[in-house]
């Protein structure tokens, strides 16, 4: 349930204009993050690693969306990139932060899945050696 609600909030923001509705979009991002994080906590407590990986990937997607939105702002005006101002191809501190968080969440998701793949194999090997 938490994941679906978090993804819903994320989808709503994708149809909004970040430059016009900045505060509302940021509020929805926070709601999305909160919902997905709550779902992640539930799956950690129950040991459901596959769904943990799904929620971590969704958090990565959310961070990527945040980075993209902040990257589309014109450095001089705080508006969408326009033809009058060339994009300075250096990431802002905010963009760097969100891209970094995105990569971290995706790597965490990968790690959780790798663990899921290794544990049954290890358990099977130990069982076959001992018995």
The confidence score (pLDDT) of residue 118 equals 65
Q: At what angle do helices 93-130 and 49-71 cross, to 10 degrees?
A: 160
Q: At what angle do helices 22-46 and 2-14 cross, to 10 degrees?
A: 160
Asked whether residue 14 carries a pLDDT value surpassing 70, the answer given is yes
Q: What is the pTM of this model?
A: 0.74
Query: Whole domain around residue 54: which residue ranges?
Result: 2-130
Per the structure, the count of domains in the chain is 1
**125 confidence band (pLDDT: 50, 70, 90):** very low
Count of alpha carbons within 13 Å of 102, Cβ hemisphere only? 14
Asked whether residue 105 carries a pLDDT value surpassing 60, the answer given is yes
Q: What are residue 73's DSSP bridge partners?
A: 80
Please identify which residue in the block is written with the tokens 């997607």: 61
Asked whether residue 55 carries a pLDDT value surpassing 90, the answer given is yes
């Amino acid at each position: 349930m938490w994941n679906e609600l978090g993804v819903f909030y994320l989808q709503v923001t994708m149809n909004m204009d970040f430059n016009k509705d900045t505060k509302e979009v940021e509020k929805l991002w926070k709601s999305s993050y909160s919902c997905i994080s709550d779902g992640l906590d539930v799956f950690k407590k129950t040991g459901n690693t596959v769904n943990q990986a799904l929620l971590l990937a969704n958090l990565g997607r959310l961070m990527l969306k945040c980075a993209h939105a902040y990257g589309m702002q014109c450095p001089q005006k705080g508006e969408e990139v326009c033809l009058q101002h060339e994009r300075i191809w250096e990431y802002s501190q905010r963009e760097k932060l969100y891209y970094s968080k995105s990569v971290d969440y995706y790597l965490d998701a990968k790690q959780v899945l790798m663990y899921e793949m290794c544990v049954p194999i290890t358990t099977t090997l130990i069982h076959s050696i001992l018995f």
